[in-house]
Amino acid sequence: MRVLGINALFHDPAAALVMDGRIVAAAEEERFSRRKHGKRPLPFSAWELPELSARWCLDRAGLTPSDLDAVAYSYDPELAHPAEQLGLNDPWDHLRQEYARRAPEFLAEALPGLDPDKVRFVAHHVAHAASAGQAAPYPDSAVLVLDGRGECGSHLAGRYANRELTVLGSQSLPDSMGLFYEDLTQHLGFLRSSDEFKVMALASYGKPRFLDRLRAYVHLDGHGGFRARPVPWASLVPPRPAGGAWTQDHADIAASAQACLEEVLLGLARWLHGRTGEDVLTLAGGVALNCVANTRLYRETPFRRVWVQPAAGDAGTALGAALHIANQKEAVEAMPTAALGRGWSDDELRAWLERAAVPYEEPDDIAEAVAAELAEDGIVAWFQGRSEYGPRALGHRSLLAHPGRAQNLERLNAVKGREEFRPVAPMVLAERAAELFDGPLPSPYMLFVHDVAEEWRDRIPAVVHVDGTARIQTVDRQDEPLVARMIEGFGRLTGLPVVVNTSLNTAGRPMVDDPRDALECFGSAPVDLLALGPFAIRRKKVFA
């Protein structure tokens, strides 16, 4: 069965293709259109479809739209209610619903040859759940979904048995942990439905002194659900103007909201474990990108394993919707990797370099060449293999640096144009991780935080956050042999089994995806070396 999954209605439009039960391709529209998050989450943009990523998925498999057995759209307008009935202040939501109802027509227009009758609506939170419970390497699991909103809810709790879902609980709107966090994001001068991770980072600089007051608005209901009503944020701390300086009050309100979110998640997870008794908890929905909360779920609930969808936000519902429909006809396989996007052969990369007329080298081993550059404290743009699905750079589209230089945090934030309070992450060989970091292992998708061992904090200061943690990525040499060789080579030269890894982009721009993006980023940012496949492009030679 050939199923194309589509996420389009709210934000992070994406497409994914499942064939014969296997995940063949998945990509976010932003990587093609070069618009961060693909579009803003407004009713007026709900008609926009991930046309470029959908066409690429089909091209990747050599299919045309007429070859598809189904298109799975990750929202079901039949389940929706008017915004005013849901308690939402969204006067144009009816426009969004109309676009959703007409999605089959729009898809047939965007993908000529597609039969609109093949479009199948999948409930938004079921699509999120399938992206976790059906994609995880465990056929049986408890599944927890929390985000801003779906058709009429913001939460799903369930159980997968042999990859078949039973829904055990849900939360109706307007109560929403995702909207709670989004509201604070906006109050703190960041972009809502985009910059929530900045609130999480800022929280580490504060104390949760407003927690008791927040509990009056946000708390568990004792029956597997919660209450999350609008918080009068301005009565607690003044709003921060966009781009303005943050104060200790701003950090404290971020810390309070983070603690409040964690309390609710812990309660929901414990309730779910009591209902299922499962060893494994799988997570999806935008809230599941909160790696601080994920670690508390791992440490403080009865679940022995926690698996988080690497594209946990709405982009992941494209994959989840496709898996859900495919699984109705045939068994589906687990997600093999997050590297499900575009890639280029060495010959294609060489042709890009020749066309760009830039001087380049072809070292015997690009991993060793990069290790040597990093050991000399150079910053490296690393472009290898297929791009990642989801918001994390996982060793395919990365900026790399030396972790032993404390100034490299400030240096990388300056390169990327980011706020000074945001951390960068370490990549570490899986077999060495436990020596340096305490937390869920392995951690290949950078979705948990780990305590950094005391004896290592002064040795790798660039990757240690203000609270003594790091959001690590473990690298398995079987899955990522090139990345592993690079880290190993750096370790031989420096004695450090860790490399700084952050996403290959600058502020406000999507992650680099194709060779043109990589060359443009290299040309505009003070990066010392671009490792484009097996080729090395050095700044001192390009700009001699």
pLDDT in tens, 433-478: 999 999 999 999 999 999 999 999 999 999 999 999 999 999 999 9
Residue 115: pLDDT above 80? yes
Q: State residue 215's pLDDT score.
A: 98
Q: For residue 81, indicate whether it is catalytic.
A: no
Average pLDDT over residues 166-184: 98
> In this predicted structure, what is the pLDDT of residue 415?
86
Collapsing DSSP states into helix, strand and coil, what is residue 503? strand
Can you tell me the mean pLDDT for 490-500? 98
Residue 116: pLDDT above 90?
yes
Does residue 71 have a pLDDT over 90? yes
Beta strands in 53-134 (DSSP E): 70-73, 119-121
**Percent of the chain topping pLDDT 90:** 94
Print the SS3 string covering 356-373. HCCCCECCCCHHHHHHHH
Helices (H) and strands (E) in the chain, counts: 20, 22
Question: Which of the four pLDDT bands, split at 50, 70 and 90, describes residue 507?
Answer: confident
Q: What pLDDT does residue 11 have? A: 94
Residue 508: its pLDDT value, please? 85
User: Exposed/middle/buried for 531, CB within 10 Å: 0-12, 13-18, 19+?
Assistant: buried
Across the range 195-210, mean pLDDT stands at 96
Give pLDDT, residue 281: 98
pLDDT at 544 over 80: no
Instruction: Grade residue 306 by pLDDT with cuts at 50, 70 and 90.
Output: very high
Q: Is the pLDDT of residue 407 over 80?
A: yes
Helix (H) or strand (E) holding 469: strand 469-470
With bands split at pLDDT 50, 70 and 90, how would you rate the model's confidence at 308?
A: very high
* Mean pLDDT (whole number) for 7-21: 97
Closest CA to 288 of 357, 369, 354, 197: 197
pLDDT over 90 at 58, yes or no: yes
Q: Using CA atoms, how far apart are residues 450 and 433, in angstroms rounded to an integer?
A: 10
pLDDT in tens, 132-162: 999 999 999 999 999 999 999 999 999 999 9
Confidence of residue 420 (pLDDT cuts 50, 70, 90): confident
Half-sphere exposure in the Cβ direction for 166 (13 Å, CA): 11
Mean pLDDT score, 311-337: 97
Average pLDDT over residues 482-504: 97
Check whether the bond before 112 is cis (ω within 30° of 0).
Answer: no
Helix ranges (DSSP H) in 167-283: 177-187, 196-203, 211-215, 248-276
Predicted confidence at residue 239, as pLDDT, reads 96
Work out the percent of the chain whose per-residue pLDDT is above 70: 100
Average pLDDT (332-336) is: 96
Tell me the average pLDDT of the chain.
96
Instruction: Answer yes or no: is pLDDT of 243 > 90.
Output: no
- Where does the pLDDT of residue 416 fall: very low under 50, low under 70, confident under 90, or very high at 90 and above? confident
| Cβ count within 10 A of residue 276 | 22
Give the predicted TM-score (pTM) of the model.
Answer: 0.97
Average pLDDT of the residues in 398-409:
96
- In 76-202, DSSP assigns E strands to 119-121, 141-146, 153-161, 164-172
pLDDT at position 421, please? 87
Residue 543 reports pLDDT greater than 90: no
**With left for phi above 0 and alpha for psi between -120 and 50, is residue 189 left, alpha or beta?**
left
